[in-house]
Every structure is written in C-alpha cells, then in structure tokens.
Amino acid sequence: MFRVGGTNSGHTVIAPTGTPCVFRMLPTAALLPDPICALGAGSYIDPELLFQEMKVARLDPARLVIDRNAFVISEEHKRQEFEWGLGARIGSTQSGTGAAVADRIMRRSEKYLAENDERLRPFVSQESTALLARSRLDRGEHVIVEGTQGFGLSVFHSQYYPNVTSRDTTAATFLAEVGLSPFDVQDIVLVIRAYPIRVSGDSGPLPNEIDWAIVTRDAGSSSPIVEYTSVTNRVRRVGRFDPTVVRRAIDVNKPTILILNHADYFDHESGERGIVTDKVRDEAQKIERSIDRMIDHIGIGARTLLPRPNYLRKALIA
C-alpha cells in the first residue's frame, strides 16, 4: 500500500485493540500484519516522525519501502514556513512540506533525496517503487494508493487559492506521485464528510460554517462532539454539508465508489447502535439529490462501514 504527499495532513485509523492512531507518514494499512508499506517518489518524508509512527504501528522494518527519489523534510524547511508566516496567512500547519516542495521544484540540492539520507537508507529500494508496484500488478496483486487531503485544498483546482495546500489532491496526481498509469486503476474511492472541516485559523472560506456545539445538538448527543486537527491538535472548523465542492470533486476524479463518512453526526443513536437510522437515511438522501450521485457506503462511528441500503437507492431513482 502506498501513501503519498507529506506530513501536513493526518489520517486517524483504529487499531485492532480499539486505540486511535494518527498517521502522517505511514499508510493506514501499516497496522495490518501483511501489507508492504511504500512511500513513493512523490512523497515528502520527515524521518523522525516516520520512525515514531513505525513504533506506534509496530511495523516490521522489512515491510517498509521508500523510493530513492522521495524528498526529505528538514528542520530548515519547517523554520522557513514559520518565517514565511504561513500559519497566520493561510492557516498552514507549517510542517515543512510546502517549503520542501519549493526546494524540489527549484532543484536546489540533491541532498534532500531519500537515497542520500543515512537515516532512510535501510529502507530505500534499489529500484524505484514504481517498478515494485508494477511487478505486483503484473502478478495479479492489488496496489492501494492512499491519497491525502481533500479536493477543495488542491493547489490547482481549488477556488480558494491561496488558502490551499502545497500540491494537487486529485486521484490523477496520486497515481503520478506513485508512478502508475490511469489504465492500472480498478476503483477510485472518494470519501466525503457529513460535515466538512478546515483547520483552525484563517484557513480560507468554509461555506455554511457552524460550530461543534451545533453538531452535538444536531446529533442529539449527550456528550460534546468535537474534532481536533491531526497535526496541530487544535479545534477544527466545521460547516454544514455543501454540495458545490463535492460535485466538482466527482467531476474531476470520477469515483467508482463514494463513501459518506461521519454519518453518526446526523444522529448519535446510529453510532451507538451501528445502524442507519431514519434521520441518517433522510440526510443521506438529501446529499444524494444535491450531488446527483448515489452513495455506495456509509461510515458510522469509528468502526462501522455499511454498504448502500436498498431504500436509499430507490429514493434517488424515484
């Protein structure tokens, strides 16, 4: 499994023990016993953070492969982003990813390539990880590419520039960062949220912005619902569902599978019981009508992913 991008976004995954783990470097499949975890040529790596995550995941070093052309984030890159004031100006996490992207584009030095970093050499493949992926596909095996960050943050396609991330965030770019062809793709999975989010601070427009107290009230939860950013651990901004960016994401990425996540925010009872309640069904139907696309799976709570109920399908077709 490949993870692309840099350390400026985190993915939360639930370990088999039930413990939440936040990965900013490793693919989430690192918690499983068998998959090979690969960081492709388009990756931006913070070695110390990577090693911390390996400890959390108890990842066998033999299961980690890094492309020799992956780029290393240095302390200098982090300092540059702080000095540029990106945190205050656009809500950047100041992880150093953007400065590393800039250095790479300027071709300032090859010292930042993974093959030239002594800490990473034990994991660097002698051939490109693209060839590793190709050999697996030729044997009939599956390769999963885990993208990072939302479509609305794309440096190319977002309508909110400059309040965007430092790279493109489309399925096509994820393939390019790994080194695979569009003809290799079997499925493109697009995950949308019941309530969209942005990082805290001046991070750009968020249509229909509300606060977590309103989300808690909408869900009917007796305990507060609130999310914190994976990188900076600050309270996220949150808004009601807006179909505009989702429709554009569908147009650009052409997903074969669409997942609605955090549907339990519509109804806390659905998360407690692990079911699609009437309220969740009604809200999902509204979303389907607004984006003119059927939802294939619904994520409820931390552990439950339900396939598309038949009554949702009928509602849209009718």
Q: What is the mean pLDDT of residues 301-317?
A: 69
Q: Look at residues 186, 216, 243 and tell me which one is the last residue of a structural domain.
A: 186
What is the separation of C-alpha 122 from the centre of its chain, rounded to a whole number of angstroms? 27
- Does residue 316 register a pLDDT over 60? no
Q: Based on the domain organization, do 150 and 58 belong to the same domain?
A: yes
Q: Which residues contact 175 (CB under 8 A, 6 or more apart)?
A: 145, 181, 182, 184, 185
Q: Based on the domain organization, do 228 and 264 belong to the same domain?
A: yes
> Band of the pLDDT at 126, cuts 50, 70, 90?
confident
Q: What percent of the chain shows pLDDT beyond 90?
A: 75
- Does residue 311 register a pLDDT over 60? no
Domain of residue 224, CATH code: 3.90.170.10
The lowest-confidence range among 6-15, 125-134, 289-298 is 6-15
- Does residue 41 register a pLDDT over 70? yes
Quick check: 287 and 243 in contact, CB under 8 A?
yes
- Does residue 191 register a pLDDT over 60? yes
Q: What is the predicted pLDDT for the residue at 312?
A: 64
Domain that holds residue 245: 188-318
Q: What is the predicted pLDDT for the residue at 78?
A: 93
Q: Based on the domain organization, do 21 and 169 belong to the same domain?
A: yes
Q: Based on the domain organization, do 177 and 195 belong to the same domain?
A: no
Quickly count: other Cβ atoms within 10 Å of residue 311's Cβ: 10
**What pTM did the predictor assign?**
0.91
Q: Based on the domain organization, do 155 and 195 belong to the same domain?
A: no
Q: What is the predicted pLDDT for the residue at 313?
A: 56
The lowest-confidence range among 34-48, 192-206, 282-296 is 192-206
